[in-house]
Structure formats: C-alpha cells, structure tokens
C-alpha cells in the first residue's frame, strides 16, 4: 500500500485505539458490555418473536447458527492458545456475546415456564 496521509492517519488512529484497549480494565469492561448485550439480544429475540409465532423456527435456527459459529471461532485451533498469550479482544467479546445470548435464552425459558 502507498504511504499516503490517509494511510498514516488511520494507522496512527488504530495504533492509539489498540494502545487504549490494551488496558486490562478496559478489556474486562468491554467483555462485560458484550455479555450484557448478548443478554439484551436474547430478551429482544424471545419477546419479539414470541408475539408473532410465525418467526419462531427461523429465529431459533439463526440464533443456533450464530452460537455455533462463534463457538467454532473461539474454540478452534487457531485461537486455542496456551495461557500466557491471551486471545484477541474481538474473539473474547464474541464469546461473551454468545454466553450472554445463551444465558438470556435460559432466563426467558424459565420465565415462560413459571
């Protein structure tokens, strides 16, 4: 790629963002936000599709595919590293969204069962 002003600017901005996200507390807070976002998506998916029973099967298949795809991404050999090297932040956030989604669906199932 050519060394233009735009490339240097985006490189510098991405470097600053990467340095900002390297703080462990910010990493943990983004992972918790991902967990809460997954829980929110599960609640929204369950209540919106529960109103109209036409979309139940399609949404269930889509959520199952999303969960399996994220599990494949996180636990595949590419990102299954030994403990000293942490996984990339995007992979950890994807895993936390998946965990929040599964947890939210279980909570919705318990609410419907009671």
User: Shortest CA distance to 62 belongs to which of 41, 36, 86, 31?
Assistant: 41
Residue 27, number of CB atoms within 10 A of its CB: 15
User: Shortest CA distance to 39 belongs to which of 113, 111, 88?
Assistant: 111
Sequence spans of domains, the chain: 24-113
Residue 52, number of CB atoms within 10 A of its CB: 8
pLDDT at 82: 65
Q: Is the predicted pLDDT of residue 51 greater than 70, yes or no?
A: yes
Tokens of 114: 């009671």
Are the C-beta atoms of residues 39 and 104 closer than 8 Å to each other?
yes
Query: pLDDT tens-digit profile of 32-42?
Result: 999 999 999 99
Tokens of 38: 């997954």
Q: Please report which confidence band the pLDDT of residue 53 belongs to, taking 50, 70 and 90 as the band edges.
A: confident
The pTM (predicted TM-score) of the whole model is 0.80
Q: How far apart are CA 80 and CA 63, in angstroms?
A: 23
pLDDT at 83: 66
């Amino acid at each position: 790629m050519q060394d233009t002003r735009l490339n240097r600017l985006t490189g510098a901005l991405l470097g600053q963002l990467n340095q900002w996200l390297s703080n462990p507390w910010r990493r943990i807070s983004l992972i918790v936000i991902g967990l809460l976002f997954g829980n929110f998506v599960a609640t929204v998916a369950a209540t919106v599709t529960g109103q109209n029973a036409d979309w139940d099967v399609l949404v269930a298949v889509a959520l199952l595919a999303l969960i399996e795809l994220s599990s494949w991404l996180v636990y595949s050999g590419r990102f299954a590293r030994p403990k000293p090297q942490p996984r990339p932040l995007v992979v950890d956030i994807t895993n936390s969204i998946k965990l929040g989604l599964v947890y939210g669906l279980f909570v919705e199932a318990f609410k419907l069962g009671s």
